[in-house]
Structure 1
């Protein structure tokens, strides 16, 4: 069974400038035959959003992200285009990147039968949350192991809210190639070093259970008794 063919819908269009042309050739065109569309959405005003799997990565540097989020912007009057892209380790992160750039969330779901299916409700819920609030995190590190015997992806994120009690997060996707399903879990860490160490242990099959994400402290209004007492009105009488 062949892979779906990628149609970038650029017939008759050229890059907006030389810099865009060189960047697009290097990032997308050079590996276009290896890019498989997992999800795509096109708008009447000339924008396109793609979640792509890059098969070429599998024989490149071990552990590199295998997904590409691509945002194309066409100018129908000048017949030119511009683009942005990002290499990301998990589909929900690619979807979040596109949603943050204007793609309607309901339009960028993965095509049926694409990739592995979520194994449980916890995985579905976490993926939905990542799609919605992924712009609250910066990706620091990831590693994708596509060996069928222990296929997994780990990612270290930094929370952009410095007040978070778990400023570093680990995402751990474990793939069951027999059932063709995956689980996704999240853990919270106080330091980047602890998060990286957990990922290294996971890739060796020695990681403990992920520590839970610590909830943010809720602001509790002060009780009335702690408020300053109102000033006493003078009665005009002295003691």
Structure 2
């Protein structure tokens, strides 16, 4: 059965840049996005906006054996093994990015109370970048500060690939954020940004993917419990 993974690991700048310029190839690796970490909501002119010493890698594998072999045998895999990663079961796709368009719109359903992981991937239209930043940063802060996320971050690869990754205590909490349920002005940020995107798209391509977390491995910034336990 195919599996996806998301990795976070510290790395020297030279390794990060090299991996972004020359993505790895490995048996059983169907697709990989190598990116530099980015703090959600960080000022545009800030070193926190693109953190070349923090690798973020999102990948699709034929099976877990292919992922295990990559982590054990490849230099980049061993570097990623020093950090944290989560293995993921694909559930749903909205929108489309060419490399992931083979994924079905729906592969499985979630219990509203179970933890979920959301990954977005976008190829930004460069002339629309100022609009994308203007409308996107409030949403970044909304997701980052949401009480039902246990981890929320972004990643990028110059000049036009941007991704977000968030772990939610429940599917119900995530969809509530998406549709603007809640009190106060902050609750409407995501739905307002989506309406602006519908008016004039920021992206060449954009997709949102939902996953069920299967297992987490290693630690990130001193934490090894980033995937919440299902609620009974």
TM range (shorter): under 0.3
Please give the TM-score of this superposition, normalised by the length of structure 1. 0.24
Higher relative contact order (CA 8 A, sep 6+): 2
User: Which structure has the larger Rg?
Assistant: 1
> Which structure is higher in strand share?
2
